[in-house]
Structure 1
Amino acid sequence: MQPQPLDLLHLGRERVIGSYLLETPEGPALFDCGPATCVPVLKGRLRERGLELHDVRHLLLSHIHLDHAGAAGVLVRDHPELQVHVSPVGAPHLIDPGRLEQSARRLYGDEFDTLWGELAPVPQENVRETSDRVLGLECFPSPGHASHHVCYVDGDRTLYAGDAAGVRIQPSRFVLPPTPPPEFDLEVWESTLDELERRDPARLALIHFGVAEDPGAHLAELRRRLRAWTALVGDGASEEEFEASATEELGEDAPPYEQAMPLWQSYAGLARYWEKRRTRA
């Protein structure tokens, strides 16, 4: 059965943040869960499929950014038997999200609570560190967007990509590189794209948003734009110039992309990347 995203209607807008329901040998599982502000909608989407939250046995996380994993602690509090799978690097930040929340509040300011809601801890006994196999799926590191990012591949060659395959608000064909600070790294991400291509997926399940049935063309477009945007900022483009260029590229597709990955954040991550490179030089 082809995967279909559960639209979490972030801030009431369609096709910005999704989640995926998977069947595993140990019962239903979710891939990513969105932020706490989307929990009521997530529960409603499960009911549309004949399930309650308590029927879901496992939560597979790509990484711990709030648009992908922010609701994890709230879900476990409501469903204490839920097992949360996350990379070994990300696990401590689920158990104690204090530093993560502090960093995010600095970034988002007064908008934090409206965007993301509560960031609750996940009890240590509910956290399962990922290895190369998780519930029958292949799992592998996929850094570049974030150092702790992992992807999953099922037996039908669906690659559950998190942010490693970029942002593409279907049916748009525009593939946007999400490059937030502080961990974006072009060379590392290019190596991850090599890994994604080597696995020859049949499709890409994107959190932002939908299933891409043309993975080869999609990944090639992501690689091209990653290089172009990194070079633009490296050549001295200001934040205003970068945002103007990206907005012109996006055209009428801009609003949902801006909500899924604000361009000011992309610029900040690209600028931080170049700052670190120049410091090392």
Structure 2
Amino acid sequence: MATVAAIQMSSGRDVGANLAAAEAGLRAAQAGGAQLAVLPENFALMADSPSSRLRHAETDDGGPIQDALAYLSRTLSLWIVAGTIALRSRDPAKVRSACLVFDDRGERVARYDKIHLFDVDLGPGERYAESDAFEAGDTVVTVATPWGRLGLAICYDLRFPELFRALLDAGVEIVALPAAFTVPTGAAHWEVLVRARAIENSCYIVASAQGGRHDNGRATFGHSLIVDPWGAVLAERPEGPGIVTAQIDRASVAAVRRRLPSVMHRRL
């Protein structure tokens, strides 16, 4: 068994302040017994412009944000799923939205680049075109942990069950889902989608969200969730910065898959 934490933040434009808030959340999670902690999407920077995002983008070889995460994971002996940070891409005008995983020795053991980019028009004041600033990834990523195989997905990925089936085919037992859902889509769909993906794939989902009003003018839904393989919500934080924790047990994944073996009954 392991204790996992979803850290909810209301990140802004100041990278230093965001890293300090992330560190406080990670230290609180570790003090509460967590062995694995998940930060939200854009935890280090909720950018107000493409130029700001490009200015703080790091290379795949490292940078100050990655150095801070490696230090914290090593110092706290904590596995960290580092939400997303901007990494430079082949297109100098765009970045990759990258979710990095650090083990408890401070080693970076996985990188997942967001595959599905949020290009939607929800109405007045709610238009998003991530593909204008981001380059999409194309690779499904899982990593072995002491508590089961961990899969990675980011925010809008949640709406694409075929990605989660690919994670299942790779042996996933836990999915980390950093997110920054909008308020209207979150209110309508967030919980039902997180629970559906957990139920469909008989796996745990640790969904760590941005939640609150940000200094770039954006509002995010929050409601970080930890959901078990039966679809039960083990922990939730509705609004504002904070953490939620729950225990996970890979034996429960196996038990649900034996009791209701839908993942074995797939025909297509």
Give the structure with the larger strand fraction.
2
Provide the TM-score with structure 2 as the length reference.
0.32
Q: Provide the TM-score with structure 1 as the length reference.
A: 0.31
